[in-house]
Amino acid sequence: MFDFQIVTTWFDNLLRQTLGLGDFWSILIECVMVGLIILTIYALIAMFMIFFERKVCAWFQCRLGPMRVGPWGVFQVLADVLKMLIKEIFGVDRSDKFLYALAPCLTIVASVGTFSFLPWNKGAQVLDFNVGVFMITAISSIGVLGVILSGWGSNNKYSVVSAMRGAVQMISYEMSLGLCMVIAVVLCGTMQLSGIVEAQTGPWKWLIIQGHIPAIVAFCIFLIAGNAEANRGPFDLAEAESELTAGYHTEYSGMGFGYFYLAEYLNLVVISGLAAAIFLGGWAPLNIGVDGFDAVMNYIPGFVWFIGKTLAVIWVLMWVRWTFPRLRIDHILILEWKYLMPLTLITLVVMTACVSLGLTF
């Protein structure tokens, strides 16, 4: 199994021993490097996701999608990004300019913060606290503040109403999302994300197999709640232009809107990545207990497994988005509070019983 720690240790030794820098400078340089790498990957993945969404959407609707710019339209995204960057940015009359500018930043902070927790490979994750899972829910709740502030800062009553809708939706679904992670924590016995993935290495050890029925139920609830948390269809009320005068980001243009757009796509990646890491084994390869097969699978590096699983989950979520009609806000809340949350609590009890009675694989 390829361990990414080799690279980080080599770089650390390069700074400390070859260049003879002290603690302060080497840690500073490493922090800046890691920050740059994370932001670059963030931006690149956002571009990839926009293209992927357009193509998947087109396939589900039996059309071709962007085809003219470059082969299969791969350069269409560059044109989109350019358009987004050079759009005129204008303020709203008599709005609170400070809060108006702050809101997209809070949204992007929450998104980048949770993005940094993704375990890409063995030894390749930026943030890895011992309270990892709890920390992810904590940081993702900053996104709610961005939603409310953007609605308020826009000085537009439709935006305020929409912000309230968005906030109540996100707060509600955070509940199921957090409880699903607790179910995984019960099974793994650790909240550290690297520990959770580590517990899934070995033959038939992915949580969804290890925890059989309750884990599969939890995985499905996690996907539904994650879809709602990321404001994706069929829960994408913020996008409902014709019915609801769009959402809390109606009054934003240029990169202000771009930030919300980026955060939406990256939240999708984060949710899928977490689902892949927590329930599908993250970078852990598919092992079935036959030595030859396992050895071949172990040769495939961890990040390939992780990215492959994440893409599969993203594809499922896009399939859902382009298939189901949009829900109304009261239906969304009823779905969460009357069906999903009780179901999650029951699943948690069943999982705890299974673990304490030793009924897991």
Residues with Cβ within 8 Å of residue 214, at least 6 apart in sequence: 183, 347, 350, 351, 354
For the beta carbon of residue 93, count every other beta carbon within 10 angstroms.
6
Closer residue to another protein, CB minimum distance, 138 or 350: 138
Closer residue to another protein, CB minimum distance, 109 or 320: 109
The nearest distance, CB 98 to another protein, in angstroms, is 7
Check residue 129 for interaction with another protein (CB under 8 A).
yes
DSSP structural state of residue 130: T
Check residue 23 for interaction with another protein (CB under 8 A).
yes
Evaluate the CA torsion angle 53, 57, 62, 64 in order and state its sign: negative
| Residue selected from 81, 92, 164, 316 as contacting another protein according to rule CB under 8 A | 164
Closer residue to another protein, CB minimum distance, 14 or 28: 28
| Residue selected from 10, 18, 20, 24 as contacting another protein according to rule CB under 8 A | 24
In order, the DSSP letters of 316-359 are: HHHHHHTTSPPPPHHHHHHIIIIIIHHHHHHHHHHHHHHHHHT-
Closer residue to another protein, CB minimum distance, 22 or 70: 22
For the beta carbon of residue 361, count every other beta carbon within 10 angstroms.
11
Check residue 167 for interaction with another protein (CB under 8 A).
yes
Closer residue to another protein, CB minimum distance, 27 or 348: 27
Considering only the stretches 62-70, 125-133, 234-242, 245-253, report the one whose residues sit in contact with another protein under the rule CB under 8 A: 125-133
Check residue 138 for interaction with another protein (CB under 8 A).
yes
Rounded CA-CA distance 240/162 in Å is: 10
Rounded CA-CA distance 224/295 in Å is: 35
Amino acid at 245: T
| Residue selected from 15, 45, 56, 148 as contacting another protein according to rule CB under 8 A | 148
Name residues contacting another protein, limited to 94-113 (CB under 8 A).
Answer: 96, 98-99, 102
Check residue 348 for interaction with another protein (CB under 8 A).
no
**What are the residues facing 124 on neighbouring strands?**
121
Considering only the stretches 19-27, 220-228, 254-262, 279-287, report the one whose residues sit in contact with another protein under the rule CB under 8 A: 19-27
| Residue selected from 135, 199, 228, 269 as contacting another protein according to rule CB under 8 A | 135
Cα 337 versus chain centre, distance: 23
Check residue 144 for interaction with another protein (CB under 8 A).
yes
| CB-neighbour burial class of residue 131 (10 A; exposed 0-12, middle 13-18, buried 19+) | exposed
| Helix axis angle, 97-115 to 254-279, nearest 10° | 30
Closer residue to another protein, CB minimum distance, 57 or 145: 145
Q: By CB under 8 A, name the binding residues for another protein.
A: 22-24, 27-28, 96, 98-99, 102, 129-131, 134-135, 137-139, 141-142, 144-145, 148-149, 152, 160, 164, 167, 171
